[in-house]
Amino acid sequence: MCDLAAAFGVRHGGIIKIGWLCTKNIPTTKSVCNGFWPGVTCDNTSSTVISINLYNTWLSGTIPTSVGQLKSLTYLNLGSNRLYGRIPTSIGQLTSLLYLAVGTNKLSGSIPSSIVFMKFLNMLDLRANSLNSTIPSYIGQLTNLTFLGLYYNKIFGTLPNTIGNLTNLQTFDLSYNIITGTIPTSIRLMTSLIGFYFTSNKLYGTIPSVIGLLTAIKYLSGNINKLTGSIPTSMGALINLQSLGLEYNSLTGTVPSQLCNDTKLNYMALDNNKLSCYAKCLTSVIYRYVYDILICSTGNAKVMILY
């Protein structure tokens, strides 16, 4: 634990402020597990560290390789600090970890391949860093994930087909990266998804019709991409959908009247596409900055496009 204290910025005062003090690599206070180290929780029986929560505590420095020695750790939250450098490969030694949050720091490099050993991981929050790599195919081995946050990084490349293995994933946020390619049809297997966010990337091609199989989804946001083709009629099966954002793409055709079946839909943003018209039943939910989409005439016939 003193290795962590040193790495997390004792020299800069970050750890001192919250009470993590060491002398000659030995905790100065009576015991790490007796409540003298804020943010640390231990197992009452084994006296091993099982949780570290240092969210927003002004930490600086790098994540040390010694973090991998905390074999019993199930919760690690280092979010909203000033940590930089790479995520160490030793993180994969935390095979009991359920929750890993290092979002809103200055971390760079890639997602370490060693995370495949963290089989029980439910939460992986890497948001708002400077990670500059692809989404590795081995991410699909983390089949217990319910949250995967990657937004506001510099992630590039394509979405691997293996994301379809994440059948327990509820929130998948890829927004504000440089991801290209098409949306893989393997998403049809991600039937637990509640929120799928991929705004501001470079995804192209059509929206796969299999998206209609994601019947648990409530929030779908894919603004500012290069999507083409029509909005799939299969999206009329998304009975829990509340918010749909597909602004600033190159979608064409009419907005399908099948979306009227999505009775919980209360927000739909479709501006700056090449769509011709939408069904009158969607008037109350469509949000328009610029009135470039008109209500379809009787029978959903196409009408004039205004740009």
Q: What is the pLDDT of residue 250?
A: 97
C-alpha–C-alpha distance, residues 111 and 105, integer Å: 14
Percent of the chain with pLDDT over 90: 63
Helix (H) or strand (E) holding 2: helix 2-7
Q: What is the mean pLDDT of residues 201-224?
A: 98
Chain segment 116-132, per-residue pLDDT in tens: 999 999 999 999 999 99
Q: Please tell me the predicted confidence (pLDDT) of residue 297.
A: 66
Mean pLDDT for the stretch of residues 288-306? 48
Whether the pLDDT of residue 203 is over 60: the answer is: yes
Confidence (pLDDT) at 26: 55
Give me the mean pLDDT over the 209-215 stretch.
97
Distance of CA 187 to the CA centre of its chain: 15
Residue count (the chain):
307
> How many whole angstroms separate alpha carbon 260 and alpha carbon 61?
52
| 206 vs 10, more confident | 206
DSSP state of 277: E
Q: Determine the Cα–Cα distance for residues 41 and 25; give it in Å rounded to an integer.
A: 20
| 3-class DSSP assignment, residue 75 | strand
Mean pLDDT of 217-230: 98
3-state secondary structure of 300: helix
> Is the pLDDT at 208 greater than 80, yes or no?
yes
Share the mean pLDDT of the chain: 86
CB atoms within 10 A of CB 299: 5
Report which of residues 69 and 197 the model is more confident about.
197
Q: All domains of the chain, ordered by start, with CATH?
A: 1-133 (3.80.10.10), 145-307 (3.80.10.10)
Rounded to whole angstroms, the Cα distance separating 2 from 6 reads 6
Query: What is residue 307's three-state secondary structure?
Result: coil
pLDDT at 286: 74
- Asked if residue 267 has pLDDT above 60, the reply is yes
Tokens 């990266």: give the residue. 177
- Per-residue confidence (pLDDT) for residue 21, from 0 to 100: 60
- pLDDT, residue 290, reads 43
pLDDT bucket at 283, cuts 50 / 70 / 90? confident
The pLDDT, as a whole number, for residue 4 is 60
Which residues 6+ apart lie within 8 Å of 234 measured at CB? Answer: 209, 210, 211, 212, 213, 258
Which pLDDT belongs to residue 8? 55
CA distance 41 to 168: 28
Q: What confidence category does residue 5 fall into, taking pLDDT thresholds of 50, 70 and 90?
A: low
* Main-chain phi, psi angles of 32, to 5 degrees: -60, -35
The mean-pLDDT minimum among 203-207, 212-216, 283-287 falls in 283-287
DSSP 13-39: THHHHHT--EETTEESSS-GGGTTSTT
